[in-house]
Structure 1
Amino acid sequence: MIKRNLRSAFVAGATLVALAACSSTDTDTVSTTKNEFNGPKNIIMVVADGMGPAYTTAYRNYVDDSKTAIVETVVFDDLLVGNASTYPAQVSGYVTDSAAAATALATGIKSYNGAIGVDVDKQPVQSVMHYAKQKGMRTGLAVTSQIVHATPASYIAHNESRKNYNAIADDFYDVRVNGEFVADVMLGGGTRYFEREDRDVLAQFIDAGYAYADSYNRLASVPTGSNVIGLFAPVALPWVLDDSRKNRLEYLTKQAIRQLENDKGFFLLVEASQVDWAGHANDIASAMAEMHDLALTIEYLKAYVSENPDTLVVLTADHSTGGLTIGARGDYRWTPSFLHKLDASASTMAKDIAGESLPGAYIEKTLGFALTDEEKKHFDDVAKQEESERYTAIKSFLDDKTNTGWTSTGHTGVDVEVFAFGAGYNAFMGQIDNTDIAKKIFSFIDKRPVLSSGIQTNIEMTPSDDKSDTCNFKEDWRCQ
């Protein structure tokens, strides 16, 4: 584990200068929108965890109107500007995990798989959120995972291992910029990590003046312009198919912006976290539902940018997950219509089926399409199995119906798409690396006047002797 000692101010100015110098962004690539910073006033970074190129194509087919002769475009199609490579530091090979990818997207520096805001030598590195706060912007995050998960953690914390959730939660409070907390708004799951017997970090935030919301509805009642921590589940939010809000990411994003808007601008990280988890689980139903939640969010952000043209939105994935294929087993067919009327996730069906007197009829009703007598009998038998086997059986059934293929329960090393719109969007065009995204954002933020240069952290990095903390996604794909 990491030893935690008081550390003097960590100043990453030299790192930032190097990153800015490496960036290809110049004044010609910045939007001509006029504001005092000669660049985007607000920056919204959206990470669709695990969303490889097959996911956006699958989503287009999933929402297609089959009654028309063409496949209609979706919100992502008009916003595509390029692709990004995702490989981690050389020590970890060519296939990244979410921690190394998030560190690259947040800091512009390649690191090893498992690293949270540290370089290959396990030294803390500055993120774009740190720098935005340093330049006087309000900052926040809205995610569907626990907020200490790899992607949001890498924008705030410094830790040698992504699995040290409690220590990462401590960093959310302990790491400061100019004496201030890194994030003004934090929305997602993770009560378990903030409200602990050994340290009640949530209480510390409340005592420091943060409003606290433990439900979506309570979040709406927090006065505009507040500092707020919203934790809506012990760990992650439910699958969107099971959630009370079917537009939960759009809602959290809208609420975060309501709190962050100010004359000096804001930086907001948004993560569609569970696209990745659906990929790890090879769960096509949840994959498409989580993609729809993301699409609703991007639709909202498009409307927001049309009203606030000094805002930049960048959307990308940290990597692709699961090796999703549209069509499988030599059959030239993909039939997503079987996914259109689900009343619950495959995971929830797997839990509930064991308590049903007529399991086959329950599955038929919840899937929203007719089953044959043989298929109902199949699920009558499935109900007698262990829950993990029931989950696999339901997913496999939907894979057969839709003709979906998967090559992995882990990540793959393919390039991912980059989407951008708003002020300065053309800086992200073409074939780039994931680190370039951070470098370009650093460059935009760098146009603002420096308030001071101190980032305080209480982390001292030392190698871990515990070799048991490696995420094994085959067994534990949520890494909880």
Structure 2
Amino acid sequence: AHANDPVGMISDVLAFDEAVGKAVEFAEKDGNTMVIAIADHGNSGLSIGNANTTKGYDTTPVSAYIDPLKKAKMTLEGATSKLKEDLSNKEEVAALYGLSNLTSEEKAQLTKARDKKEISAALSKLLANRANLGFTTGGHTGEDVFLYSYGVDRPTGHFDNTDIAKHMAKSMNINLNELTNELFIEANKAFKGSKVEVDSKDKNNPVLVVTNNKRTVRFPVNKNIAIVNGKEIQMDSVVVQDKKNRFFVSKQAQQIVKNEK
């Protein structure tokens, strides 16, 4: 969806449908399983219809949207992976993406593309135009997303996104507050006896800096890494900063500062 690739979107949805089907099949047999399928956010603002269908859209046949997509043999990622280093086979790659018999105008748009990224953008625009599809963005969108659920205690209705996690936790008898207290400790308490500072040179990416008599460890906020002498150590949890500019770390972060791991 980020690449505005309708063929890729269709392929991924079909694969996802197959995967969810396996989960539902298991839940049917098990009788004690809840299945939830949901997106974290919308993406790309796909619309069936574009400027080509402004007039007469009520008489436009479904084939006008579907047939151009059926001609694709590969997704955008698959097709562009076949590009030669000198980009001399643009039209062959376009054909793999369902764009054969290019018009002079389409060829001109493809010719302007000078690298793989520009070729990908050109191909996706050309296919969307042929299939009468529109996209509002290459990024995230803010509409509500569908919630699919099946089985025991399944959630239904309109939910705030964080309530889904709470519903799942309750179903699994997990106390999220207790878990939070176990997984995250306020930095000044976690590193009592050590020097605790915040490097705010990059305001958007502050770093918690902890120094004791053994070592200095840097913990970038919102990341699950600790940096010791330029070497990154991957942790099991991210470092969190709240609205009061307090930092919270995991027990593993404590161990790293103590040089236990």
Flag whether TM exceeds 0.5 (same fold): yes
Secondary structure at 1:431's aligned position in 2? coil
Counting only pairs closer than 5 Å after superposition, residues 37-186 of structure 1 correspond to structure 2 as: none
TM-superposed deviation, 1:454: 7.5
Q: Does 1:412 align with 2:141?
A: yes
Match of 1:323 among 17, 26, 45: 45
Question: Unpaired runs of 5+ in structure 2?
Answer: 189-196, 207-261
SS in 2 for 1:314: strand
Which of 149, 171, 175 does residue 444 from structure 1 map onto? 171
Over the aligned positions, Cα root-mean-square deviation in angstroms equals 3.4
Contact 2:83 2:90 in 1 (8 A): yes
Letter of the 1:363 counterpart? A
Which of 304, 309, 314 is equivalent to 2:36? 314
Q: Percent identity?
A: 24
- CA 1:290 to 1:307, structure 2 compared with 1: closer, same or farther past 3 Å? same
Instruction: Give, in whole Å, the separation in 2 of the partners of 1:342 and 1:298.
Output: 25
Q: What is the CA–CA distance in structure 1 between the aligned matches of 2:110 and 2:139, rounded to whole Å? A: 31
Q: 1:459 to 1:363 in 2, by over 3 A?
A: farther
Name the stretch that deviates more: 339-348 or 394-403.
339-348
Residue of structure 2 in register with 1:371 after alignment:
101
Q: Secondary structure at the match of 1:282?
A: coil
Cα separation, partners in 2 of 1:369 and 1:324, compared to 1, 3 Å? closer
TM-score, normalised relative to structure 1: 0.34
Q: How many residues align?
A: 185
Distance 1:286 1:351, change over 3 A: same
Say if 2:4 and 2:124, in contact at 8 Å, map to a contact too. yes
Q: Residues 456, 326 of structure 1: CA spacing in aligned structure 2 closer, same or farther, 3 A cutoff?
A: same
Shift in CA distance, 468/340, structure 1 to aligned 2, threshold 3 Å: farther
Q: Answer with 1 or 2: which has the greater Rg.
A: 2
* Counterpart among 298, 319, 322 of residue 20 in structure 2: 298
Q: Please give the secondary structure, in 1, of the residue aligned with 2:72.
A: coil
Distance 1:408 1:360 in 2: 26
Shift of 1:351: 5.2
Bigger relative contact order, structure 1 or 2, given CA contacts below 8 A and separation 6+?
1
**Shift in Å, 1:367:** 2.4
Q: Name the residue aligned to 1:338.
A: 68
Q: Deviations over 1:244-276 (max 9, x none)?
A: xxxxxxxxxxxxxxxxxxxxxxxxxxxxxxxxx
Residue of structure 2 in register with 1:397 after alignment: 126
* 1:460 aligned residue: 187
1:424 maps onto 2:167 in alignment: no
User: Which whole-Å CA distance do the structure 1 matches of 2:67 and 2:91 have between them?
Assistant: 20
Is 1:287 paired with 2:27? no
Matched residue of 1:335: which SS?
helix
Displacement of 1:389 after TM fit?
1.5
Shift in CA distance, 463/330, structure 1 to aligned 2, threshold 3 Å: farther
Distance 1:404 1:423, change over 3 A: same
Distance in 2, matches of 1:464 and 1:423, equals 48
TM-score by length of 2: 0.59
Does the CA-based 8 Å contact 1:359-1:376 persist in structure 2? Answer: no
1 CA distance for matches of 2:119 and 2:47? Answer: 23
User: SS at 1:281's partner residue?
Assistant: coil
Q: Quote the offset at 1:463 in angstroms.
A: 6.0
The answer to whether the 8 Å contact 2:110/2:122 transfers is no
In structure 2, the CA distance between the partners of 1:298 and 1:337, relative to structure 1 (3 Å rule), is: farther
Q: Give the whole-Å Cα distance in 2 for the aligned partners of 1:403 and 1:423.
A: 41
